[in-house]
Structure formats: structure tokens, C-alpha cells
Amino acid sequence: MDRDKILLTPGPLTTTLRTKLAMLRDWGSWDADFNAVTARIRHSLLDIVQGHDTHVVVPLQGSGTFSVEAAVATVVPRDGHVLVLDNGAYCKRAARLTQMMGRRCSVLGFGDAEPVSASALDARLREDSSITHVVMIHCETGAGVLNPLQAVADVCVAQGRGLIVDAMSSFAALPIDARAVRFDALVAASGKCLEGVPGMGFVFIRKAILDGCAGQSQSLAMDLHDQYAYMEKTGQWRFTPPTHVVVALAEAIKQFEEEGGQPARLARYTDNCHALVSGMARLGFKPFLDPAVQAPIIVTFHAPADARYQFKAFYDAAKARGFILYPGKLTQIETFRVGCIGAIGRNEMEQAVHAVALALQDLGIASGAPA
């Protein structure tokens, strides 16, 4: 069998053979053996954030966005007021889903190439006492910016506001310690830096607010309090769980722990990022972000200035050599993105750079240098 194409995206990701093989067995969703898998996953997830004393974790079917929406609907009272810190496409999605959940929503905007500012947040919260909750994307993968979680959390604590963190593309790679960073909810998913497959999200909810969340969601399927209460009582999911996704995640977590946990995963992804950026620089490509704000998750590159460049043809040429790239998310300038995460290492990143070099040759482009 030919090698699977390497996914250089922020998810889905390239997975190991062990993770793939875990999905070959069928499971009964109410069976005690499957319930034990769910329980092990929940315990392991709390281990990762050192959250056993402060938080519970609630898994939910669906993509990560389902869980972000569920977190807002469950944690924010129906008369609450959410401030979304916006420096990219996924922040805008968070604002939209907040509005569609019927919560009052305001936006504090920043540029695509800059992290959100804790001092600007502090000033805004002082100006508007009606704001009850802040939503922040930890790693805004629209451009790849790493936002200052600790500083934002400290402001929210000082101002007495709740914090909901979308840690979709950072959880298990970047350090998050619930003992040091106070958040009401933090959302992640199976198909990102844990290197499972897509189809399941999970939300850490602070124990101190959990009881107050009962009845706040206007959606039955996305009511995390109800999901938690049922799971605690029965050990089961309320509705049909994504069984194969769950057991794949259990296997992926086992490999995560064998690798050395979050520090080891961050080290590998950081090395991937360095190999990618240095290799692409040799071809003339320039990253969109300043290195000081670049997360080692996904890198946005300026498109080549050469008039022969078209992303679709460039994508197809790289795909033909076994690598899947990602289109840009910026609206003002043309870019493309290359992920650094998944079950890949420096060798695959160097092969990817070589594939990009050959793709440029196919298109008759001498250099990836931007305008």
C-alpha cells in the first residue's frame, strides 16, 4: 500500500498506524468495557492540565466547533454578555456562534498579525461592567498567532469575569496548567495535538461554576451540564458516542504519554516548525508572522510574487508528491499555510520542503519570494 499523504494542516492530522488500527474493532456504546475507555480518557485529559482539583472534563460528539458552541451555551447565562477577543478567522467564528446562541456579544478587535492585548482587555472591562465573560482563542490558526493565555486569565480574575478558552490547536502541545491559569471553560478536540482522529470535542469546566450551569443551555444536544450529570451517574454518553473516535483517542493518548507528554510534543512540533521555516526560507518564502508571536502549530507564508503562482496548481503539485497543504485564511493578502503538527517529525518536514521546491519547478517559478 502506498504511504498515506502527509497532512500539513491544523487538523485532521497524520496519525500513527497504532491509532488507525485501534479503530478496527466495533464497540457497544453502553458496554462496560467502552465506558471504561471513556473514563480513562477523562482522567488522562485532566492529568494533562493538572486539573483534577479544579475542573471536570465533559466529552461531546462532533467537531471542536460543536464543543465551543456548547461551552458558550452552557457556561454563559442567557442574559450574559460575552466579549470576544478577535485577531483572526476563528475568533470571528466564536463571535458568530455566541450571537447564534442568543447571548449578547461584543468584539475587541486586533490585527491578524498581532496577539491580543491583556492591557487593552483590562481597559475594556473597566469601561463596561456588563461584560460577564471573555472568549479567547489560544492559538489563532487563521494566521498562527499565539495569544497570551496567562496574561488574559489574570485580567479576567482581577476584573471578576469568566474566561472561555478555545485551545483547539494548542492543547497537549503548549503548556496549560489549571492550577496557575484560571478559566471557567477550556475547549479542545480529539483530532488536533493529541493526534487522534476528528469527531469528538471535550470541555474542561471549573467545578466552582458547574452547578450554576444547569439549565442555561437552550440546546439539549449541547448541554454540557446534562452530559456531565448523566455521565457521572451512568458512566455512559447520553446519545450515541463516536465509538471508533473514542478508542482511537485512547490509543493516541497512550502514545502521547509514551513520548513524554506535553513537553516532548512541544519539542517535536517546535523542531518541525524550525525545519519548515528554515527550509522554506531557502526557497525564498517569507512567513507572515514575526517569530515572536508565531506558535509552532501552523505557519502562514506569503504567496510568491511570480504571476504564474496559483494556489490550486501549487497545491496539486505538492499533493502529487504526497503532501497536503492548507489555503490561507487572510482576506487582505494572498497566503497559504503549512502545519507542523501530527504524527510527523523533522524528516517529513524536510521532505515537504523538497516537495514544495519541485512544485515551484513544475509551475516555472524560480523563487517563493513575495512581492
Instruction: Give me the CATH number covering residue 358.
Output: 3.90.1150.10
CB 275 within 8 A of CB 122: no
Joined grid coordinates for residue 198: 476528528
What is the arithmetic mean of pLDDT over 202-219? Answer: 97
Nearest to 10 by CA among 181, 138, 107, 132: 138
Within this chain, do residues 277 and 196 fall inside the same structural domain, yes or no?
no
Within this chain, do residues 76 and 213 fall inside the same structural domain, yes or no?
yes
Q: Is the peptide bond before 241 cis (omega within 30 degrees of 0)?
A: no
- State which of 258, 273, 297 marks the end of a domain: 258
CB 172 within 8 A of CB 256: yes
Q: How confident is the model at residue 3 (pLDDT cuts 50, 70, 90)?
A: confident
Report the alpha-carbon distance of residue 232 to residue 221 in Å, rounded: 17
Within this chain, do residues 178 and 99 fall inside the same structural domain, yes or no?
yes
DSSP assignment of 52-98, as one string?
A: TTTEEEEEEES-HHHHHHHHHHHHS-TT-EEEEEESSHHHHHHHHHH
What is the percent of the chain where pLDDT is above 90?
98
Q: What is residue 56's predicted lDDT score, i.e. its pLDDT?
A: 98
Q: Which H helix or E strand runs over 173?
A: none
Q: What is residue 2's predicted lDDT score, i.e. its pLDDT?
A: 58
Report the alpha-carbon distance of residue 323 to residue 335 in Å, rounded: 17
pLDDT digits (tens, 9 = 90+) for 83-139: 999 999 999 999 999 999 999 999 999 999 999 999 999 999 999 999 999 999 999
Spell out where 152-302 has E strands: 162-166, 185-189, 200-206, 298-302
Give the residue numbers spanning the domain of 320: 6-10+261-363
Spell out where 110-199 has E strands: 133-137, 139-140, 145-146, 162-166, 185-189
Within this chain, do residues 244 and 334 fall inside the same structural domain, yes or no?
no
Q: How many CB atoms lie within 10 A of CB 123?
A: 13
SS3 state at 340: coil
Residue 236's φ and ψ, nearest 5 degrees, are: -110, 160
Within this chain, do residues 298 and 253 fall inside the same structural domain, yes or no?
no
Q: How confident is the model at residue 371 (pLDDT cuts 50, 70, 90)?
A: confident
Across the chain, mean pLDDT equals: 97
Q: How confident is the model at residue 213 (pLDDT cuts 50, 70, 90)?
A: very high
Within this chain, do residues 191 and 329 fall inside the same structural domain, yes or no?
no
pTM: 0.97
Residue 371 within any structural domain of the chain = no
Q: Which H helix or E strand runs over 155?
A: helix 149-159
- State which of 208, 228, 258 marks the end of a domain: 258
Residue 318 within any structural domain of the chain = yes
Within this chain, do residues 115 and 56 fall inside the same structural domain, yes or no?
yes
Report the alpha-carbon distance of residue 351 to residue 344 in Å, rounded: 11
Within this chain, do residues 205 and 335 fall inside the same structural domain, yes or no?
no
Nearest to 175 by CA among 290, 266, 299: 266
**Burial class of residue 28 in the structure, from the number of CB atoms within 10 Å of its CB (0-12 exposed, 13-18 middle, 19+ buried):** exposed
Q: How confident is the model at residue 195 (pLDDT cuts 50, 70, 90)?
A: very high
Measure the N-to-C terminal CA separation of the chain; round to a whole number of Å: 42
Place of cell 475587541: 108
- State which of 226, 258, 290 marks the end of a domain: 258
Joined grid coordinates for residue 365: 517559478
Within this chain, do residues 267 and 328 fall inside the same structural domain, yes or no?
yes
Nearest to 280 by CA among 355, 334, 362: 355
1 pLDDT more than 50: no
Q: What is residue 261's predicted lDDT score, i.e. its pLDDT?
A: 98
Report the alpha-carbon distance of residue 344 to residue 23 in Å, rounded: 20
Q: Which residues contact 121 (CB under 8 A, 6 or more apart)?
A: 83, 85, 108, 134, 152, 155, 156
187 pLDDT more than 80: yes
Q: What is residue 180's predicted lDDT score, i.e. its pLDDT?
A: 97
What is the percent of the chain where pLDDT is above 70?
99
pLDDT digits (tens, 9 = 90+) for 238-264: 999 999 999 999 999 999 999 999 999
Overall domain count for the chain: 2
Residue 118 within any structural domain of the chain = yes
* CATH number, residue 235: 3.40.640.10
Within this chain, do residues 66 and 192 fall inside the same structural domain, yes or no?
yes
